[in-house]
Chains A and B, each alone.
Chain A
Amino acid sequence: MDNTVKEPLIHLSKREDMSFGKKWLVRIIAILLSLIVCAGFIFIIIKMNPVEVYEGIVEGAVGTGRRFWVTARDALTLLCVAVAVTPAFKMKFWNIGAEGQILMGCVASAAMMIYAGNALPTGLLLVLMFVCSFIAGGIWGIIPAFFKARWNTNETLFTLMLNYVAMQVVTFCIVYWENPAGSNSVGIINAPTRAGWLPQLFGLDYGWNLAIVLLLTVLMFIYMKRTKHGYEIAVVGESENTARYAGINVGKVIVRTVGISGGIAGIAGFILVSGSSHTISTSTAGGRGFTAIIVAWLAKFNVWAMAVIAFLLVFMQQGAIQIATQYNLNENASEVITGIILFFVIGCEFFINYKLEFRKKHSA
């Protein structure tokens, strides 16, 4: 027989049976590899000892109590947005519009603070802000969902466009809310009275942020796993045919789910305005709407894994910002490093989902 005949060098097949531990091993290896590449990048570009840089990152992210809480606060916000996109994505509705939904929540919250800030008691004001941002974000989700449900309009592109409409809504509002006049920014809202600011909880500055996000996370976990709605979402995401078969009104589920998804993103906007920045600008959402999609996807929609990934990403970002000031670099280094880490983590899923078989060395 002719033994020069060759099989393809690498043969691919799908696998679904990798153990939990092995999956995380692959991911950890990917993160380590990405850190090595980042170290190379840092060394080549700025000629610094990468180990020192990494120490600087850890120092910057959690080095002091204050830094730790800033990291935690931002991680919580990111987690909140990731939780928000989860139900839509689980339904295979590509909601790329979280950024805009957050901003609409911000607008609603800021509007309440500015117009009703000194007229209402704190508790009522906060509740109203919470509800209004939920509604505002929800509407921003329902619009594309309606068109998807009714005419199958491409939701990826629709939600993407709505982000920028939302940004213009923000700049529109800034014109009216400008403070001081001519600055083209809103400034700290209600700085003297702190009306509409989330107060301390358990003596923690960001106690409410923590409480709200953790509660939402737990609720979302239960919603997806244990409720009729969550079941419907899972069925629609798996197959619309099956959903129809089971008598599920697919359109209704899409609109409702994306409404909830947008609403929670709106709550993230509330947390940003009321619980951390106390102001509003087009960059208040700061790309979290996009990063959260990556977080949710990498976590395979498991809310607990999302918490870990969100913390890890923000940790890197905060750390990078710190070394940037420390070494007189610019803070965008953090995005470069985040990008590189994401590439590796996204890429490594392949080795979890597929099996590579190399050509066997046999002659026929």
Chain B
Amino acid sequence: MEQTYAIELKNITKRFGKIVANDGINLKVKRGEILSLLGENGSGKTTLMNMISGIYFPDEGHILVDGKAVSIRSPKDSFDLGIGMIHQHFKLIDVMTAAENIILGLKGNAVLDMKKVHKDIQELVDRYGFDLDPAQKVYTMSVSQKQTVEIVKMLYRGANILILDEPTAVLTPQEVDKLFEVLRNMRDDGRAIIIITHKLNEVLELSDRVAILRKGKYIGTLQTSEATVESLTEMMVGEKVSLDINRPMPHDLKKRLTINNITCTNEDGLHVLENVSFEAFGGEVLGVAGISGSGQKELLEAIAGLTKLSSGSVIFHSPEGEDIDLAKYDAAQINELGVRHSFVPEDRLGMGLVGSMGMTGNMLLRSFRKGKGFFTSLKAPKELAEKIKEDLDVVTPDIDYPVRRLSGGNVQKILVGREIASSPAVLLVAYPVRGLDINSSYMIYNLLNKQKERGVSVVCVAEDLDMLLEFCDRIMVLCDGKVTGIVDARKTTKEEVGRLMTSHKEEQ
């Protein structure tokens, strides 16, 4: 007899323009089990789950809930089927209270009885031991509190199929433990749970079965008990992963940056960087590791002159032998001082490039001030665009074709190409290969290595520890805006870096 599944996906395909985000995916989840959906960034996990929760509608294929074919046209349909999704970016209304967010869109009496709502929520909160005040406004909450609101929201609505999109990315280890406990309780209640992740240890610790996606394709499902880190990695990345990145030995090191005790505060007055000090040298790659949101973004922006520091100095030792404190200037002034540093930001299209412009227009972004007079000169940027297109194999119909419509890999090649074209002394890169295919990734590694060999000081923020360990010379680890260690990438282990990434929290 065929077993009925809580949810079953058959042959789901979804395209965005020319990109196939999901290609004929099959997936099954039973009640009372936790399924991990494993895959690298950009493998199509979130897109797939968005189709279950009614955000997208599949181009092809069928979704079955409890053995019945259903059509999920809107999040409402999804709710009605008992499906609740907790997104990576929380879908909460800032100016409302936790309770108001929780009852949003529910049916019931026209006139609200908030007292009863608060009482009901409090009961749920007490039962699972959450830390939540129903009357608290969301904009005053921490990230983990917001996640709690999301989970309670789903429970309050009686969701019995729960989907969590990378729920642990923003949590402390203690918070992760607590979350897992709740999830196990819910599984034991007979709910079906799908957790989207790319962290293998979590897969092994939590789930009953694991399904793997790779580049939008369904690779297979394993019983977690039969899975190992090695087998999962192999399925996730395809071939056996020794990244095998070429790493030339650094030589002829010259000090380029001295960061002294920099502290930086965000809008809410919290320290996002606290007393950070380090040095970076020309001729080496300094990696920066940390859980996302530990201050990496602010660090790079501070060096680039895009973020105001509350205290500390950023000394740039120019090849000509001058020492300049960049903290005193903003990006425009740094540019005018002739400090040659380049920055490949995390948000490629939202910060590093102008999406609606072509390659030529984007080449101009760094150089449009050059030259006297009122008019822009397009000759040099055009030539540079042609050269980058040629040298880096950028696939674009035309150098004036809007870069927004190009694939992620091509976008990154254009950005990196432009940044190294100005022959920088310091090169800051954030997540240089995120979302890129293997070939593009290696091309980027090679480009960065060439810069290193030319004597450039490369500072590289990344989340992938394997990559950091194989690509960098030294790794600095940030945790909660503080430096928890700087280690030799050739000698350290993944475990050591992992420990440093969370060490501060464990001390508490």
B350 adjacent to chain A (CB < 8 Å)? yes
Docked complex: B345-366 residues within 8 A CB-CB of A: 345, 347, 350-357, 361, 364-366
- Chain B residue, CB-CB nearest to A15: B17
Determine whether A156 belongs to the interface, using a CB cutoff of 8 Å to chain B: no
By the criterion CB–CB under 8 Å, are A227 and B375 in contact?
A: yes
Q: Are B375 and A226 in contact (CB under 8 A)?
A: yes
Instruction: Say yes or no: A11-B57 contact (C-beta < 8 A), given A239-B350, A239-B354.
Output: yes
Q: Given A5-B69, A239-B350, are A227 and B62 also a contact pair (CB < 8 Å)?
A: no
A241 x B335 contact (CB < 8 A): no
Q: Is A143 an interface residue (CB 8 A)?
A: no
Are A245 and B345 CB-contacts (below 8 A) given A16-B405, A234-B354?
A: yes
Report which residue of A229, A230, A242 has the largest number of chain B beta carbons within 10 angstroms of its beta carbon.
A242
Q: B160-201: which residues lie under 8 A (CB-CB) from chain A?
A: none
- Tell me, in angstroms, the Cα distance from A228 to B57 when the chains sit together: 44
Q: A228-B376, A234-B357 are in contact. Are A246 and B69 (CB under 8 A)?
A: no
Q: Give A249 to B361 CA distance when docked, in angstroms.
A: 19
A1-22 interface with B by 8 A CB criterion: 1-2, 5-8, 11, 16
Interface size in chain A (residues, C-beta < 8 A): 28
CB distance from A333 to the nearest CB of B (A): 40
Interface size in chain B (residues, C-beta < 8 A) = 38
1/0 per residue A43-79: CB within 8 Å of B? 0000000000000000000000000000000000000
Shortest CB distance A244–B (Å):
6
**Pairwise interchain contact B357-A8, C-beta atoms closer than 8 A:** no
Q: Which residues of the partner chain A approach B374 to less than 8 Å between Cβ atoms?
A: 227-229
Give the distance in Å from the alpha carbon of A161 to the alpha carbon of B334 in the complex.
39
CB contacts under 8 Å to B, within A248-294, are 248-249
Roughly how many angstroms separate A139 CA and B113 CA in the complex, as a whole number? 52
Do A245 and B376 touch across chains, with their CB atoms under 8 A apart? no
Using CB atoms, name the residue of chain A closest to B307.
A244
Closest partner residue, chain B, to A244 (CB atom): B306
User: Shortest distance in angstroms between B197's beta carbon and chain A's nearest beta carbon?
Assistant: 29
A247, B335: Cβ atoms closer than 8 Å: yes
The 5 closest A-B pairs by CB, nearest first: A247-B332, A247-B331, A2-B69, A241-B351, A247-B335
Residues of A whose CB lies within 8 Å of any CB of B are 1-2, 5-8, 11, 16, 226-232, 234-235, 238-239, 241-242, 244-249, 364
Would you list 18 pairs from A and B whose C-beta atoms are within 8 A, ordered by A residue? A5-B71, A7-B71, A8-B73, A11-B57, A229-B374, A234-B361, A238-B355, A239-B351, A239-B355, A241-B351, A242-B352, A244-B306, A244-B351, A245-B343, A245-B345, A247-B305, A247-B332, A247-B334
Known: A239-B350, A241-B350, A364-B62. 4 other contacts (CB 8 A): A228-B374, A231-B368, A242-B353, A244-B306
**B interface list, Cβ under 8 A from A:** 57, 62, 68-71, 73, 304-306, 330-335, 343, 345, 347, 350-357, 361, 364-366, 368-369, 374-376, 402, 405
